Structure 1
Amino acid sequence: MFDNIHEECGVFGIYEPQTADVAASAYYALYALQHRGQESCGIAVNDDGIITAHKDVGLVPDVFNRDVLDKLGKGQMAVGHVRYSTTGSSSRTNAQPLVVRHIKGTMALAHNGSLVNAQQLRDKLELSGAIFHTTNDSEVIAYMVTRNRISAGSIEEAVEQTMDDIKGAYSLVIMSPKKLIAARDPQGFRPLVIGELNGSFIFASESCALDSLGAHYVRDVEAGEIVVADKSGLRSIRTHCGQKSSMCVFEFVYFARPDSVIEGASVHLARQRAGAYLALEHPVQADIVVGVPDSGLDAAMGYARQSGIPYGIGFIKNRYVGRTFIQPTQAQRERAVRIKLNVLAANVKGKRVVLIDDSIVRGTTSGKIVALLRDAGACEVHMRISSPPFMNPCYFGTDIDSRDKLIACRMSQEEIAKEIGVDSIGYLSVDNVKKIAEGAKCGFCVGCFNGEYPIEVPAEMPKSCFENKISEGK
């Protein structure tokens, strides 16, 4: 419905030495990670080596109820996943975790990210006789791990060998009959954290999932690191560590929940800092600063504090309208914007408004939001964006596709301002977006802004990778 970009998914895993209701723990954690994917979800439970799974299209509370969780049963381990598709269609078949039964036992895998060489690996595997049941690159990883497991001495060695061949973004949680494994690509594109709760070990995409369980944050999985949890405790394999890290900076701008801490930096404070930088780079005379819910709110607070312009609530968001509300016709989509967002007219009527949002992709929804402010009586609207303009596709698990669909590639900033109906527009600079996560123990990927990718990318993205890209109308 909205002109927001989407991130592929969120992953979770828990190792509990004693039999426990690990399915319930996965449920609550996935609920906390729901913002990372709303198309499908799944949980796999391991009880003494027997893995039982349930997954389907829909939100966490729609797919799982108490009866479903009871059928999953109790166990010593669980893996969970929430998905937004960037490769592969949105269907139950492509939902995760992927459960694979092979000669060495059963494995469940949950993946966040996107491989740049998935198609080449898939072609090679199919020529050797492999048969794939999904259209996502997660199955390529699962197939390679199980193939390497035949000759490897352990599941972690198989993961280590697989990491020699796969390229791109991957934060993985893998469950074997006796072990829970977390692995992160050598650039650390996507987040992955370690937690502890009363002797159990937890892996999750964000620290907010740990908070939902009352777990203690231990540390982040390092870029390139493999972490193994089993009856002996935690141990680390670091053969792929040491490369320059390149966390996707959009985790701090938009993807992550504001109450999460990633690589030692607060997401909430990073967004406020982005707003402060925006105020320094693009000052304007105005009466009120408002943010587009939700990720624009923190940046709006930062802009207001830095500029001295009062912060106010500009929009009321209807939180009971889910993705299923998206309608097929343009007229219905436009009405849906008004149902999901409504202007608090008393705060903007007759005022010069600074409107803060995290990004503009195509620009169509931005124009509708500006029109809402105008209709409510705003006399001026000055748009400020807490990220740089999107100029290039993303190959690492974000649905920013070809340049011809990006408004910043087709128009100048003056033309964009005219197109969406604002009096002025200003984007955060590339230099300053790199500075917003103060204290973060990582570098950043900003390839979608400046075209400088941390690893080699394909000359063009395979067509199959864009089956479910930016939702129409964004």
Structure 2
Amino acid sequence: MLTTHPFESLDDGDKLREECGIFGIAGAETASAMVALGLHALQHRGQEAAGITSFDGDHFHTHRAMGHVAGNFDRDDVIRSLPGHNACGHVRYSTTGETALRNVQPLYADLASGGFAVAHNGNISNAMKLKRDLVRRGSIFQSTSDTEVIIHLVATSTYRTLLDKFIDALRHLEGAYSLICMTPEGMIACRDPLGIRPLVMGKLGNSIIFASETVALDVVGADYIRSIEPGELVLVREGEVESVHPFGKRAARPCIFEHVYFSRPDSIVDGSSVYSVRKAIGAQLAIEAPVDADLVIPVPDSGVPAAIGYAQESGIPFELGIIRSHYVGRTFIQPGDKVRHLGVKLKHNANRALIDGKRIVLIDDSIVRGTTSLKIVQMMRDAGAKEVHMRIASPPTRHSCFYGVDTPERAKLLAAKLDIPGMTDFIHADSLAFVSIDGLYRALGETQRADIGPQYCDACFTGDYPTTLTDQDDLAPEDQFSLLAERVN
């Protein structure tokens, strides 16, 4: 039987979760239907809620709902209620804050210049300070989302044109944002000056599309044009596309974890195939942390590409020693300790005939709290594994993310509490190793980080945050992580 650990109650949330995905299309006859398809492809980025806003040339129309895209946006009556040639949408995974319809995006407001809808992927690290200042000036907030700050900044800007008001609003922001906005004048897509969160542009006939990942372009049959550049605003008005760079040139720091886990393996992120990068990470891991074993087994599904790379580099056979059920959600009711301990088998089950008597290498993308790794290792031992060695296709996650990823506070991250031997003991493995930060950079085609400095946002591994964190700095240490409850994208 699985040994009870003090982390047991924290089993939910033992993966880093991207908070949202965005998709927008300008100039399509069935814009809202296309957005619904695009959001299906981005469902992995947020499963809690979804929304679509359309514009028919005169009026904005919005439908938002809790739950998946399927069941909410695959109905004819819903799509018919969202007419127009322009539309944008959002899938959401919240942090520990309020789960409520008022926080589901796109957010919409009637401004003096007309309607304004915004879908946001990321996290604004000075949102609470901005919100306090805006409330003092008379703003009334309708949600607990940091995204609403953008709307109020646009509304209160003293600049004359809507574009200038929008740029003025962005100048006040810290942190990470990829945005798709709709106005009566057209659609605006933009990325923060460091390009922390991803955003790409595609084309389908005469329609221009923006999405968090290229896989959403594939699903609707669009051609990938390019990534939106860090700090770039792209405007689509009456079929014309215009690019603006209002913030000057800065060294980009895109999120490195998009390559490790967040993005789908069939996406292209900043010019690189996610699948190929993950295989390269696995190969690098085999070079850095070899082990004498009989089988390489991925923890499905996210560990599969890295495990293939590890197996190819090491010469150890790759096998599917764990079978995952795709029909169990996080909300499955687990009454009582005994059923709770068995819950992991609903999602993962050992391929016992393959594992019995073997020395195995388990490959996973990361360790967050460690509870899932503990259960997987125990599952392998229960299935008769002779030795269980764990290899992780990212460096130890020692720091929380403040840029749009749901992470526990640092005190609950296993790598922040324990060294490698301590983590090995915790998960009951025979050995444990992580790819080095320099190895991760090499897998991405860069020279080692120590030589060139950070080319990515790798703060979750290094603690090197690329922006100021005003809201965190303003809080007492014991209150810092309560801020996560107020940041709901």
Which position in structure 2 is the counterpart of 1:314?
Answer: 321
Which position in structure 2 is the counterpart of 1:6?
Answer: 17
Counterpart amino acid of residue 169 in structure 2: T
Residue 207 to residue 381, structure 1, CA distance change in 2 (3 Å): same
Distance 2:56 2:79 in 1: 13
Which position in structure 2 is the counterpart of 1:455?
Answer: 467
Shift of 1:326: 5.3
Counterpart amino acid of residue 203 in structure 2: E
Distance 1:134 1:87 in 2: 15
Residue 57 to residue 447, structure 1, CA distance change in 2 (3 Å): same
Unaligned 5+ segments in structure 2 are 1-11, 448-453
Distance 1:186 1:89 in 2: 29
Whether 1:377 and 2:384 are equivalent positions in the alignment is yes
Unaligned 5+ segments in structure 1 are 470-474
Which position in structure 1 is the counterpart of 2:184?
Answer: 177
Distance 1:2 1:311 in 2: 28
Over residues 4-63 of structure 1, what are the superposed CA-to-partner deviations in whole Å (9 max), with x where a residue is unaligned?
1111100011001x6x11111011100000000011110111111311111111011132
Query: TM-score, length-normalised on structure 2?
Result: 0.91
Indicate conservation of the 8 Å contact 2:361/2:389, yes or no: yes
Residue 376 to residue 24, structure 1, CA distance change in 2 (3 Å): same
Which position in structure 1 is the counterpart of 2:79?
Answer: 70
Counterpart amino acid of residue 466 in structure 1: L
Counterpart amino acid of residue 380 in structure 2: L
Shift of 1:68: 4.0
Shift of 1:434: 2.2
Which position in structure 1 is the counterpart of 2:3?
Answer: none
Over residues 58-82 of structure 1, what are the superposed CA-to-partner deviations in whole Å (9 max), with x where a residue is unaligned?
0111322314433423311001000
1:28 aligned to 37, 42, 59, which one?
A: 37
Distance 1:270 1:411 in 2: 28
Counterpart amino acid of residue 10 in structure 1: G
Counterpart amino acid of residue 90 in structure 1: T
Residue 153 to residue 436, structure 1, CA distance change in 2 (3 Å): farther
Shift of 1:342: 1.0
Question: Following superposition of structure 1 onto structure 2, how do residues 351-390 of structure 1 map, counting pairs within 5 Å?
Answer: 351-390=358-397
Indicate conservation of the 8 Å contact 1:45/1:72, yes or no: no
Counterpart amino acid of residue 51 in structure 2: G
Shift of 1:422: 0.5
Which position in structure 1 is the counterpart of 2:307?
Answer: 300
Counterpart amino acid of residue 118 in structure 1: A
Indicate conservation of the 8 Å contact 2:150/2:170, yes or no: no
Distance 2:331 2:72 in 1: 14
Which position in structure 1 is the counterpart of 2:62?
Answer: 53
Shift of 1:411: 1.2
Over residues 429-450 of structure 1, what are the superposed CA-to-partner deviations in whole Å (9 max), with x where a residue is unaligned?
111222333389x930111111
Question: Following superposition of structure 1 onto structure 2, how do residues 58-457 of structure 1 map, counting pairs within 5 Å?
Answer: 58-86=67-95, 88-148=97-157, 151-325=158-332, 327=334, 330-438=337-445, 443-457=455-469
Indicate conservation of the 8 Å contact 2:277/2:443, yes or no: yes
Counterpart amino acid of residue 289 in structure 1: V
Shift of 1:468: 9.0
Indicate conservation of the 8 Å contact 1:206/1:261, yes or no: yes
**Structure 1 residue ranges (4+ consecutive) displaced by more than 6 angstroms after TM superposition:** none
Distance 1:318 1:165 in 2: 45
Q: Aligned with 2:18: secondary structure?
A: coil
Shift of 1:176: 0.6
Q: Aligned with 2:184: secondary structure?
A: coil
Cα-Cα RMSD: 1.9
Which position in structure 1 is the counterpart of 2:26?
Answer: 15
Stretch moving more, 408-417 or 244-253: 408-417
Shift of 1:322: 2.1
Distance 1:330 1:246 in 2: 43
What fraction of aligned residue pairs are identical, expressed as a percent?
44
Distance 1:114 1:276 in 2: 33
Counterpart amino acid of residue 463 in structure 2: G
Q: Aligned with 1:93: secondary structure?
A: helix
